[in-house]
Structure 1
Amino acid sequence: MSQADLGVLLFVHRDLVRKIETAERVPSADFLTRCDQVLEAHGALARLVPVVERERVLRAVRADQTSEVAFRSSATDRPVLDWLLADSAGQQSAVDNDITAEAARELEDLRDRDHAEGAGATYPDVEGALRGRLTTLATTAPQIATGMLELAGYEAVDLGVDGLAQQHYLRALDLMTRTGNHVYGGYLIAVSLAHLALHCGDEQQALRLATAGLRGTGDRATPAVRAAFRTVQARAYARRRDESACATALLRAEADLARSNRADEPYWIGYFGEADFADEKAHCFFDLGLYGLTRRETRTALTLLSTDRVRRIGIDTALQASALARGGELDEACSVARRAIDHMGGLASFRAGHRIVLMLAELQPYAHLPQVRDVIEYADATLGPLLNPG
């Protein structure tokens, strides 16, 4: 079918079809839905609507850097400079041990629920906690307040609301800059904000932020914190297809992690161990096209991850299935894909749906095979609301 033929069936000009095929234009939801019907794609195109809408927003923001409602790379420049120039002694806060202990328990509970249920189920409670207690916590327990804001940012990413995530992270950074917790501030820059930049397709900004955090904290950063910073650098290098720089950053991160003593690390980096490091390496290797190494690291991560980290397990399982599909191992890819779908079934998470859509896209070229067709149908039946939130 020519571009003109498809244009006739869709009632659009062939030039629009050409621009969409060459990625000059982002297709509308209506265009995708009608293409799905005309080409008898059985949902393969329609399920891409949330991913395509996200790309539309990202492109619009890149074109209009004055937007206040979406992620903007430039919005981090002044806060990072303020952090670099700040007095590390900061302002002293009056710590209330009772309030701190209660808030810490609440934060831990919200984090556990987020891992197991997804942000769609827990963000309203996080937002409610911030609305009712942020001012008090910022004075009496600034690190807990920062943890709440950091979790809110992480959950906003999970909801696909990147501009809101950036706002939460920047509020947390401002609080750490004012109270003098320089290392935690560096973490917000080099990990939270840098990961957000990666998520939004700006690997250059991610690399700048990770490097700023690493250099700005210097010897004050503990080994696990430095390892986390270097891992984000590796992710950015992998996106740029710089295999040598990625490998160097990963080796340095691995050496830092080997020197880490958990008892000497700040509590907020306690999650970052061998499981999360394996997860980050798997994403690096996938971006570099090293699918055998991707499978190895996802297996390691899935072996080490705590069973209550449902979303992370689902995402890593889907990444493993994608790597298997890229390597042509379709039977195993389908088996692993089914496990990923099962893990995602109870989640309310944009990121979970996004990762499943990407996994299914890897299988789509083989949709004529019965085992692949069965997986696609299973995903539609099991994850209908997650894949088609509208």
Structure 2
Amino acid sequence: MGQSPRDLDPTVSLLHFFGAEVRRRRCLLGLSQAALGRMLFQHRDLVRKIEAAERMPTKEFVERCDEVLDAHGALLGMWPMLERERSLRSANDAMVYRSEAADRSVLDWLLFEPRHLRPAATTSGSALPGVHALAQLRQRDHAEGGGATYSDVINLLDTDDTDLVGGALELAGYQAVDLGADGVAQLHYLRALDLAVASGQRLYGGYLIAVSLGHLALHCGDAQQAARLATAALRGSASLASPGVSAAFRLVLARAHARRGDKAACCTALLQADADLARRDPADEPAWISYFGEAEVADEKAHCFFDLGWYEPAQREATRAVALLNPCRVRRLGIDTALLASALARAGDLEQACVQARHAVDLAVRTASFRAAHRVAMMLAELHRHRDLPAVHEVAEYAFARSADLSPAAYATVHRPSSTAR
């Protein structure tokens, strides 16, 4: 007797989504696992394991599956995300994200007590062109994604201005995350943290720990590390942090608690963040936190509520974030719109979920962004169980038809760091 197919939840991971999509397309063609295996020149047991998310496919398997199952790029478009997932599970990949890699730098930051903490950084006239260039690259990054600007940011690291280098490293780390190169992102962030410690910028160091490294840990599925980082930053900067900075730190902590399913701790952190925000005076906040406004707060809350399974509040906050975002923030609009579609799907409002899903795809394809593509893929995973409905089938095929635009070749440009990476 043949084995009964293992039930799959496509929302667990891209590997589960890939397996579910291979199974769906195989069944539509009336193929058995053995028949598909013969067409792929593989054993049927390998097909079974991949469909059951028990085995990571190779690129060759994905390419051949895409061809044999007439997927027209839909399966191949998942490969960059599958490759990243493989790296996160690998113990032998030197360039993958590792939570313990931050321990030394975070401890140095906690223990370092300079006699005089540096005031807000000032920039000499000779460095202003670099500062303006960095600001312009940040704007382009929001609109076009990391793949469009990463190499230009790396070029700014070749300077003696430590403030400019620190800012460029933080942006380079953010962009490396955006391109699916988590280990490279971690190296950039840690070098920026080391510079902040060396130059006495303690509060900015706390920001790099809680917000930059904390969000990276969340992106890599390490909620426990994200909670530790945010907690360390809050305690290590308690006497220095402005209300806005404290709120940003607490929202990362809330995200970590939500990802771990700790509703009480998440709600406590959110209430504390709201109390901080009520005391905030933008004029007294550091320049590097000036971007942090109501749209960012709504985004963080929407992710918290979605992870906790509170889909109506998640819809409300995601809608609010989208409404408040500047239209030039194309990547963030795509990510939050995809989150809104996912929340609508979970709540059973499939008609509106499909409307928002198509909009999310249209936004995501305008950017060279792994994060946007990943969020769209997970949105499609939410809709996968409803593929028998015409509206869902239509939007899924629309997204798959544009899968090549969601997988820019720029992802590969940061998988091996340059000598400036650390």
Question: Could you say whether these structures have the same fold, taking a TM-score greater than 0.5 normalized by the shorter chain as the test?
Answer: yes
Q: Distance in 2 between matches of 1:9 and 1:90?
A: 68
Moved more, 361-370 or 287-296: 361-370
Match of 1:294 among 288, 301, 314: 314
Task: Tell me if structure 1 keeps the 8 A contact 2:143–2:329.
Answer: yes
Match of 1:83 among 109, 120, 137: 109
Q: Does 1:53 align with 2:80?
A: no
- Report SS of the residue matched to 1:220: coil
How far apart are the structure 2 equivalents of 1:96 and 1:238? Answer: 39
Q: Secondary structure at the match of 2:237?
A: helix
Give the residue type in structure 1 aligned to 2:78: L
1:250 partnered with 2:273? no
Kept in 1: contact 2:33–2:48 (CA 8 A):
no
What is the identity, as a one-letter code, of the residue corresponding to 2:345?
A
Structure 2 matches for 1:18-167, cutoff 5 A?
A: 18-35=48-65, 45-60=75-90, 63-64=91-92, 67-89=93-115, 97-130=124-157, 132-133=158-159, 136-138=160-162, 142=163, 144-167=164-187
3-state DSSP class of the match of 1:260? coil
Q: Pick closer, same or farther for the CA change 1:361–1:96 going to 2, 3 Å.
A: closer
Contact in 2 for aligned 1:50/1:388 (Cα 8 Å): no
Cα distance in 2 for residues equivalent to 1:203 and 1:9: 38
Secondary structure, counterpart of 1:348 in structure 2 = coil
Counterpart amino acid of residue 154 in structure 1: Y
Distance between the aligned counterparts of 1:107 and 1:41, measured in 2? 41
Q: 2:73·2:404 contact (CA, 8 Å) conserved in 1?
A: no
SS in 1 for 2:277: helix
Query: Which whole-Å CA distance do the structure 1 matches of 2:138 and 2:384 have between them?
Result: 35
Matches within 5 A, 1:220-231: 220-231=240-251
* Distance of aligned partners of 1:233 and 1:281 in 2 relative to their CA distance in 1, 3 Å threshold: same
Paired AA for residue 147 in structure 2? G
Mapped to 1, the partners of 2:212 and 2:320 lie a distance apart of 24
Match of 1:364 in 2: 384
Q: Is 1:320 paired with 2:349? A: no
- Cα deviation, residue 33, structure 1: 4.5
Letter of the structure 2 residue corresponding to residue 127 of structure 1: I
Which residue of structure 1 lines up, in the alignment, with residue 420 of structure 2? Answer: none
Q: Which residue of 2 aligns with 1:264?
A: 284
Provide the rounded CA distance (Å) in 2 between the counterparts of 1:148 and 1:241. Answer: 35
Q: C-alpha offsets along residues 26-66 of structure 1, whole Å, 9 cap, x if unaligned?
A: 22233345555666666654433222211100000xx34xx
For residues 287-345 of structure 1, give each alpha carbon's deviation from its aligned partner in whole angstroms, at most 9, with x where no partner exists: 11111111000011111111111110110001101111112211111111111122123
Q: TM-score, normalised by structure 1?
A: 0.90
Cα distance, 1:366 vs structure 2: 2.0
- Structure 2's unaligned 5+ residue stretches are 6-31, 412-422
Alignment partner of 1:375 out of 395, 400, 406: 395
1:347 is aligned to 2:367: yes
Matched to 1:240, the amino acid is: R
> C-alpha offsets along residues 158-182 of structure 1, whole Å, 9 cap, x if unaligned?
0111111111101100000001110
- Number of aligned residue pairs: give it: 379
CA positional deviation for 1:2: 5.0
Residues 46 and 96 (structure 1 numbering): CA distance in 2 closer, same or farther, change over 3 Å?
closer
CA gap of 1:277–1:9, structure 2 versus 1, over 3 A, is: same
8 Å contact from structure 1 (residues 51, 354) kept in 2: yes
Q: Alpha carbons of 1:42 and 1:106: their partners in 2 closer, same or farther (altered >3 Å)?
A: closer
Higher helix share goes to which structure?
1
Distance 1:290 1:95 in 2: 44
Distance 1:310 1:89, change over 3 A: farther
- The amino acid across from 2:257 in the alignment is Y
Structure 1 residues 42 and 368: CA distance shift in structure 2, 3 A: farther
**More relative contact order in 1 or in 2 (CA 8 Å, sep 6+)?**
2
Residue identity (%): 57
Contact 1:239 1:284 in 2 (8 A): yes
Letter in 1 for 2:98: R
